[in-house]
Amino acid sequence: MGNIIKIAIRNLLRYKRRTALTATLVTLGVVFVLVFTSIAGSFKNMMIGQITDSMLGHLQIHRKGYVAAIESLPLNMNIKQAGYQKLEAILKQEQGIVAYSPRIKFGAMFSNFMETTNIRLNGVDPQQEFATVPLLPDRIVSGSKTLKKGQILVPELLAKGMNVKVGDTVVVVATNQSGSVNGKQFVIGGILESATGPGGRDGYIHFDDAVELLRMEQPEISEIAVRIKDFGKLHKLEKRLKAAVTAERNTLGAPLFELHSWEELSPFAKIAKMLNLMTVFIKAMLIAIVLISIMNVMIMAVFERIREIGTIAAIGTPPATIRTLFLVEGLCLGLFGALVGNLVGIGIVLIVNLMKLTFSFGQQTGLVLKAAIAPSDIIMVSLIVVVVSVLATLQPALKASKMEPIDALRHV
Amino acid sequence: MALVIAEQVRKVYHSGETEVEALKGVNFRIDSGSFVSFVGPSGSGKTTLLNLIGCLDAPSAGTLTVADTDVATLDRTSGAAFRGQQIGFIFQDFNLLPVLSVFENVEYPLLMVKKTSEAERRERVMALLAAVGMTEQAIKRPDQISGGQKQRVAVARALVTNPKLVLADEPTANLDHETAFMVINLMKQMRDQFGTTFIFSTHDPRIVGEAEVIHCLEDGILKGTELKGGAA
């Protein structure tokens, strides 16, 4: 094989300009794919991270039917204590889970004693909540990055509109499940930066305060947000957890609970899917570039070397070896393009990172782009190039190996 | 002992509806170690006959046996293997591989066809390059040597696998008179040294006389055979 590679490389170097042009095309294709994949991937990951780590969590568990009615935050669809204990047992058994946070979600009236407005609130245990959505404290733009009993975290736009600041006292009035109205005074503990996506403009109070405000005899949970260890294994864990969660049935045999991933809860999953689709499209373009450029150069190579093929066939070179000679030529072109393309692509991504490019996502501005090339992307792009190079060379190589030596030797 | 036996060998080419009979029932025997030429004008069937003997083509009718093998029974792969083991080729246009050096061109059949060890390859190639007087040019590329030198390299390449038979179709057609003689003499010398059978075709009357057995072809018919001194 070493000799075949040597001959293949020398044949490629025979037409230096043509080989350089083809290799450049392949290189550019690889660079384009890698840079696009890394930047789009980084943007996507940052976007997903913002959504899951500051609001949603990776997975959410609700009582069956809650998500369909989530706009009205129905208290009558909360999970009772017994149900929550069952779910907690399931979550504690699952080793892929880092943290989970029970939330009481409800709508309330927010008053600064002068004006009143609506507010959507989450009653949370701050320790569990911050472990489940670790970017939430970062969204607290003023005030301490904690949430104590008696404090409320107010969304920035609402704080501006109601002209309240950290330390101010406000009143929250809520109607509970049985229709009785209750009010409670809170001190503004922090102002929350608005985030794009569901729950991005919700306020937060302590779990115990929510129980008290809604006059719950036993805490009832609207949802459980779940954070997993390895985001890459989300779908596997989701499947496993869904099976366990939906196994809990009522007396009629219908599932008691439902589990959704962030993708099902956030419209931004569609943008993420579009970015994935664009990456696939870019990879398809790479395949086309490699296929056309290498096939073109190899067809030319076979056509120009018909007499040579006749000579080596006449002196006894087996057809399989002739085929391999051309396949290795195409493979070498692809490998060279992939290697140089990977190096240049990595270089460009490093430069992009050094430039510290920023972008905005919804209300969040100044997010620094952290482009990164995953080893799996390098492997995937290299594999695509190598496999497509071989496929592109297959037809010319087969043609060369099937040539009758007598006809090839007669070729002028 | 006969190395090549042709019995009523016919070769017909079809071009559209036209049928051209290039060989019209040719009979001959070529003994091992002989130095044979097929002579005749252009279109007499010399190249067709050499292609058949070289297993590059199959006869339309008749039997052609080379080294005890009926060439009609060989398919593409077995034909290649047979040629690689039994036959060496010298071409009119030398047909050296331009990307390989003189040494590598001679080495090529041992690498790709016979799969010989490196030490054995080196020894054999150097011996042959010495035999054809090309040792000094071993590292040069074909475009750096003259036509006569290229044909010497081609002779060495044809002999490197130690074949029973070397076929040369018009090996001197692209050479000047002096070089042509030198190449024919080299071929004869190689025959003497290695005992290889040489069959070449030519229409050059000046070098025809160098062959020991001369078969005259005309319009696809073997018109006669002339034996010269030294021929069995």
Closest CB to B91 among A13, A311, A318: A311
Residue B187 in this model has a pLDDT that exceeds 70: yes
The top-scoring range by mean pLDDT among A116-130, A394-408, B16-30, B66-80 is A116-130
Q: From CA A227, how far away is CA A53, in angstroms rounded?
A: 8
- Asked whether the ipTM of the predicted complex exceeds the cut of 0.90, the reply is no
Taking the C-alpha atoms of residue A203 and residue B94, their distance in angstroms, rounded to an integer, is 88
What percentage of chain A has pLDDT greater than the value 90? Answer: 44
Is A3 in Cβ contact with B111 (below 8 Å)?
yes
Q: What is the mean predicted confidence (pLDDT) over B72-92?
A: 88
The predicted pLDDT at position B231 comes to: 47
**pLDDT value at position B21?**
87
For residue A291, pLDDT over 50 is answered with yes
What residues does each domain of chain B span?
35-48+77-227
Distance from CA of B166 to the nearest CA of A (A): 11
Average pLDDT over residues A205-211: 95
Residue B87 and residue A7: Cβ atoms within 8 Å?
Answer: no
% of chain A beyond a pLDDT of 70: 97
Nearest beta carbon to residue B80 from set A3, A7, A313: A313
Tell me what pLDDT residue A108 has.
Answer: 94
Task: Measure in Å the smallest separation between the Cα of A2 and chain B Cα atoms.
Answer: 10
Instruction: Tell me the residue length of chain A.
Output: 412
DSSP structure string for A243-295: HHHHT-B-TTS-BSEEEEEHHHH-THHHHHHHHHHHHHHHHHHHHHHHHHHHH
Q: Cβ B97–A409 below 8 Å, yes or no?
A: no
Nearest neighbour of A316 by CB, restricted to B83, B97, B99: B83
Residue B232 is predicted with a pLDDT of 45
- Six-digit token string for A402: 């099937």
Q: Which tokens in the block code for residue A149? A: 């009993």
pLDDT score of B89 more than 50: yes
Helical H runs in A15-143? 16-51, 81-93, 126-132
Residue A24 at interface with chain B, using a CB cutoff of 8 Å: no
Q: Is residue B93 pLDDT above 90, yes or no? A: no
CB pairs under 8 A between A and B: 72
Residue A375 to residue A383: CA distance in whole angstroms: 12
Question: Which residues of chain A make contact with B88, given a CB cutoff of 8 A?
Answer: 315
CATH code for residues B35-48+77-227: 3.40.50.300
Is A183 a residue whose pLDDT tops 70?
yes
Domain assignments of chain A as residue spans, ordered by start:
2-51+270-410, 65-255
- A360 pLDDT exceeds 50? yes
User: For position A170, what pLDDT does the model report?
Assistant: 95
User: Between B57, B93, B109, which is nearest A406 by CB?
Assistant: B57
Does residue B214 surpass a pLDDT of 60?
yes
